[in-house]
């Protein structure tokens, strides 16, 4: 069986299903809803930072955006193939699995692979969930301050508590197939926000006709590379979403749809922000946008995305912790307690580090690089070399080996660049006032 057939050919899974042991399920995500989950998890916060990233690197940044999208999409497909291989070779993975990505690492590289993936996944998703909560709180604070007839002193530290309390019950839902409306809502909100931001940037054109071009430098190239890697770094939840599909062998189609949609959202806003705002573009493009109604509508939609995406990204962490603590895969008191405590820990982290961006870049940048650009190719090459009389042969051509090695090297360079940018940001003067020390002085 060729590697292409392994992805798109449902016969092995179908034959198993006929015997009553297959993973294919009547209730599960379709190709479209799985693609919506992928878009809902990745898009949103990334699109806000990309215009400035392109400003810093010019048209080279656009080329980097296209290349990183292609590599991340390719590796997403590779990760899907890895999971299909596991389900084909080991029947236990056709039932419900709460930690599929670590399982891939274990089958490819043993206990070390499992631990490495588990650490990277949990650090990344926990950090991303914390940042989503922080950004949503900051956005709500901005909206209240700008739209309230009276000057508001309601700190985003309070918004953190309100948001965490409101979102906690939704984190009790089992797995992605149980809350697919959140993925749809997150994706729709992001698409509308990108459209409004694009229009808003064009409306701003007369206000920035005298803006000057940004001088490019080599440091900006590395910083931009790290930003773009983060914008496409959603692989940590890919196997969880794939496992909840009705037909997991069709996951590659969901990946293609998702990354095509991401590119359609990222490119117009990034290029427009680069050409209109130039050197005056802020790190968050919404801060530069001056078209009032469009800005606030975009802010609301992005906040909705962050809220729904929070539910998506924290779920794999919940499932793996439940697996570690032996909590049954059903709704119950222990699930509620564990997931509530996890949200409480996210809240405490956000209240302790309200300027969490630099630390996330340092920790999340390196782990995201591993999960998205290094592990998928590494694990696929390792699994393809494993043999057994009962397993179909997986043939990897020499040119495929070459580009997989190249992708791994790109990931290593990107990880180093992300880590360097974070360390540089911290060294440049990173100060934190925890919310519980001063609820009003702590500010994003």
Q: Rounded mean pLDDT of 50-60?
A: 89
pLDDT at position 293 is 86
**CATH superfamily, with its number, for domain 3-354:** Amino acid/polyamine transporter I (1.20.1740.10)
In order, the DSSP letters of 142-197 are: HHHHHH-SS-----HHHHHHHHHHHHGGGGGS-SGGG-HHHHHHHHHHHHHHHHHH
Checking if the pLDDT of 437 tops 50, the result is: yes
Checking if the pLDDT of 2 tops 50, the result is: no
Residue 432 banded pLDDT, cuts 50, 70, 90: low
Find where tokens 């998703």 sit.
125
Checking if the pLDDT of 225 tops 60, the result is: yes
| Model pLDDT for residues 148-161, shown as the tens digit of each residue | 766 666 778 899 99
pLDDT at position 166 is 95
**Could you tell me the pTM of the whole model?**
0.81
Residue 203 banded pLDDT, cuts 50, 70, 90: very high
Q: Rounded mean pLDDT of 212-236?
A: 78
Checking if the pLDDT of 7 tops 50, the result is: no
Residue 377 banded pLDDT, cuts 50, 70, 90: very high
CA 322 to chain centroid, in Å, comes to: 22
Are 415 and 361 in contact by the 8 Å Cβ rule? The answer is no
pLDDT at position 105 is 95
Checking if the pLDDT of 221 tops 70, the result is: yes
What is the overall mean pLDDT for the chain? 83
Residue 364 banded pLDDT, cuts 50, 70, 90: low
Residue 367 banded pLDDT, cuts 50, 70, 90: confident
Checking if the pLDDT of 254 tops 70, the result is: yes
Q: Could you tell me the two tokens for 112?
A: 């070390």
Q: Rounded mean pLDDT of 226-238?
A: 83
pLDDT at position 152 is 63
By three-state DSSP, how is residue 440 classified? Answer: coil
């Amino acid at each position: 069986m060729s590697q292409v057939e392994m992805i798109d050919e449902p016969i092995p899974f179908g034959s198993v299903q006929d015997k009553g042991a297959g993973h294919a399920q009547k209730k599960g995500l379709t190709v479209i809803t799985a693609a919506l989950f992928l878009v809902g998890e990745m898009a949103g916060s990334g699109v806000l930072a990309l215009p400035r990233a392109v400003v810093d690197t010019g048209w080279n940044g656009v080329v980097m955006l296209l290349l990183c999208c292609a590599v991340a999409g390719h590796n997403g497909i590779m990760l899907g193939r890895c999971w299909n291989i596991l389900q084909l070779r080991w029947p236990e993975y056709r039932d419900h699995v709460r930690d599929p990505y670590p399982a891939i690492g274990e089958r490819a590289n043993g206990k070390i692979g499992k631990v490495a993936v588990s650490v990277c996944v949990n650090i990344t998703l926990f950090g991303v969930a914390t940042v989503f909560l922080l950004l949503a709180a900051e956005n709500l604070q901005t909206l209240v301050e700008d739209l309230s007839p009276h000057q508001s002193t309601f700190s985003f530290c309070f918004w953190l508590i309100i948001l965490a309390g409101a979102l906690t019950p939704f984190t009790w839902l089992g797995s992605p197939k149980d809350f697919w409306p959140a993925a749809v809502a997150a994706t729709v909100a992001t698409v509308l926000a990108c459209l409004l931001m694009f229009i808003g940037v064009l409306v701003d054109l007369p206000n920035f006709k005298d803006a000057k071009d940004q001088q490019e430098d080599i440091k900006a190239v590395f910083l931009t590379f790290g930003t773009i890697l983060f914008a496409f770094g959603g692989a940590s939840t890919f196997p969880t979403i794939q496992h909840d599909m009705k037909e997991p062998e069709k996951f590659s189609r969901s990946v293609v749809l998702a990354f095509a949609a991401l590119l359609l959202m990222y490119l117009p806003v990034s290029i427009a922000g680069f050409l209109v705002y130039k050197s005056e573009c802020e790190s968050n493009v919404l801060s530069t946008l001056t078209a009032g109604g469009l800005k606030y509508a975009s802010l609301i939609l992005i906040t909705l995305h962050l809220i729904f995406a929070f539910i998506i990204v924290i779920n794999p962490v919940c499932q793996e912790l439940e697996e570690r603590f032996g909590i049954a895969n059903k709704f119950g008191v222990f699930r509620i307690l564990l997931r509530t405590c996890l949200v409480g820990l996210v809240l405490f982290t956000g209240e302790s580090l309200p300027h969490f961006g630099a630390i996330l870049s340092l920790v999340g940048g390196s782990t995201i690089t591993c999960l998205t650009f290094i592990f998928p190719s590494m694990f696929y090459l390792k699994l393809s070399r494993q043999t057994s009389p009962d397993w179909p042969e997986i043939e990897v051509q020499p040119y495929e080996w070459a580009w997989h090695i190249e992708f791994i090297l790109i990931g290593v360079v990107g990880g180093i660049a992300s880590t360097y940018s974070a360390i540089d940001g911290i060294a440049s003067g990173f100060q934190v006032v925890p919310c519980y020390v001063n609820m009003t002085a702590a500010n994003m």
